[in-house]
Amino acid sequence: MSAKKYVVKIGSNLLVDEKRKVNTGIIEWLAREISSVGKHQISCVVVTSGAIGVGRIARGVSSSKLNMRDKQALAAVGQPELMSYYRDVFAREQLDVAQVLLTNEDFASRSRFMNIRNTLLTLLDYGVVSVINENDTVATDEIKFGDNDTLSAHVASSLGADTLVMLTDVEGLYRGEFLTENLVGTVTKITPEIEKLAGDKSGSKYGTGGMASKIKAARIAVTAGVRTVLAKPSDGLFLKIKNGDAGGTLFLPSPRLDSKKCWLAFGAKIKGTVFVDKGAASAVLSGKSLLAAGVRNSEGTFRYGDAVKICETPSGADVARGLVNFSSEQLARIQGKHSREIPAILSDATGSEVVHRDNLVIIQAR
């Protein structure tokens, strides 16, 4: 298998132009870029939008307001057509493609998460380029990623990718007007100030993303240890990224999380929230297990082994995700108690930590 993996996200605004035509030029460019880094032991996985946009063109639908049923149906029309562009264009670069359609729910179950990971890794072994989109036909609002930026970050973290490249129609993130001197070159930490630069949340006519969703996705990726680049397509871009001089905006990664912790941080369905005092929050942030003594209260109904959110109280700061060793009912009885008191309160307790440090993942502080 190749030494490095890039996940490349390409949005509808780049794939479908204002004249309502599919921009095959950008798919040709992408194939050339993937082929050029392939010679340097870098394999790529593509996350593509455009199914709905291509479906609209195919069906001659011009209305900019579409309801969920229309979007789902148009995605079903557009997706195979979109794939046929990828298949034909990539074949000219001797690249084979595979279609992978995913929903948010697929990442929530640990076994499905592992299946996704294993399939994508096997396709990489085959030398086949996975072309991933959200499975719009089955994804309703409640279970949707909502935008492919977030999906690409989940894919990158599940794969332990080296780099997530989010292609944009501007050079990157700007402080103010789109002038070269305003371009943010490197982001070491995604602060509220950086989030504010993303401005309004709206996407383009054909896509749902926008800069805000790119920053949200970058946060997921860097927390998982994936370096993230926002850049405009240009010839030789991927080789420049390899050499560390891509231009655009580079988000530096945190230390890498293993696959189980990535799942816990971003995939697992959160069943409740455990509120802890400042001391316990600092202990967790420094890598220690969460003990009952530091727990103030909890919200939600959860069982042994469920994923919970850990927040500091009273600040409400999001601290970590963890797999809990007690049900919400049991936790209510032992919160604030010293570990040695637990056996007397709960005769069936299997351990003393509320969340063991091996089952904890810290969420990058906001």
Q: What does 85-138 look like in DSSP terms, one character per residue?
A: HHHHHHHTTT--EEEEEE-HHHHHSHHHHHHHHHHHHHHHHHTPEEEEEE-TTT
Per 3-state DSSP, the chain is made up of helix, strand and coil in percentages (nearest 5) of 40, 20, 35
CB of 330 to ligand GLU, least distance (A): 41
**Residue 84: CB minimum distance to ligand GLU, A:** 15
The residue (of 75 and 97) whose beta carbon lies closer to ligand GLU is 75
Closer of 75 and 257 to ligand GLU (Cβ):
75
**Residues in CB range of 303: below 8 A, 6 or more apart:** 271, 327, 328
**Count of beta carbons in the 10 Å neighbourhood of residue 197:** 18
Point out which span in 58-66, 100-108, 203-211, 260-268 binds ligand GLU (CB under 6 A): 203-211
The nearer residue to ligand GLU, 16 or 37, going by C-beta atoms, is 16
Candidates 52, 166, 241, 362; binder of ligand GLU (CB under 6 A) is 52
**Distance, CA of 310 to CA of 272 (rounded, Å):** 9
**Per-position x/- string for 8-27, each x denoting binding to ligand GLU as judged by CB under 6 A, each - no binding:** ---xx---------------
157 part of the interface to ligand GLU, by CB under 6 A: no
Query: Which stretch in 45-53, 92-100, 153-161, 232-240 sits in contact with ligand GLU by CB under 6 A?
Result: 45-53
CB closer to ligand GLU, 59 vs 303: 59
Q: How far is the CB of 290 from ligand GLU (least distance, A)?
A: 36
Contact 236, 333 (CB under 8 A): no
> CB of residue 27 vs ligand GLU: minimum separation in angstroms?
14
Which residue, 120 or 166, has its beta carbon nearer to ligand GLU?
166
- Phi then psi for residue 311, to 5 deg, are -120, 150
Q: Helix and strand tally (H, E) in the chain?
A: 14, 15
CA distance linking residue 43 with residue 24, whole number of Å? 21
Determine the Cα–Cα distance for residues 251 and 261; give it in Å rounded to an integer. Answer: 20
- C-beta closer to ligand GLU: residue 133 or 289: 133
Site for ligand GLU in 108-147 (CB under 6 A): 133-134, 136, 147
How near is the Cβ of 41 to ligand GLU at its closest, in Å? 30
Residue 208 binds ligand GLU, judged by CB under 6 A: yes
**Helices 24-38 and 68-91, packing angle to 10 deg:** 50
Here the tokens at position 163 are 């780099």
210 binds ligand GLU (CB under 6 A): no
Under the criterion CB under 6 A, does residue 312 sit at the interface with ligand GLU?
Answer: no
d(CA 57, CA 66): 14
Sole binder of ligand GLU in the list 77, 100, 107, 209 (CB under 6 A): 209
Strands 360-362 and 318-323: what pairing? antiparallel
Q: Does residue 328 belong to the site contacting ligand GLU (CB under 6 A)?
A: no
7, 10, 22, 75: which one binds ligand GLU (CB under 6 A): 75
For residues 47 and 151, the answer to whether their CB atoms sit within 8 Å is yes
Smallest distance from the beta carbon of 143 to ligand GLU, in angstroms?
13
CB 270 within 8 A of CB 323: no
| Interatomic CA distance for residues 151 and 220, integer angstroms | 10
Report the residue from 33, 45, 95, 207 that binds ligand GLU according to the rule CB under 6 A.
207
Nearest distance, CB of residue 107 and ligand GLU, angstroms: 15
Give the binding site for ligand GLU (CB under 6 A): 11-12, 49-53, 75, 133-134, 136, 147-148, 207-209
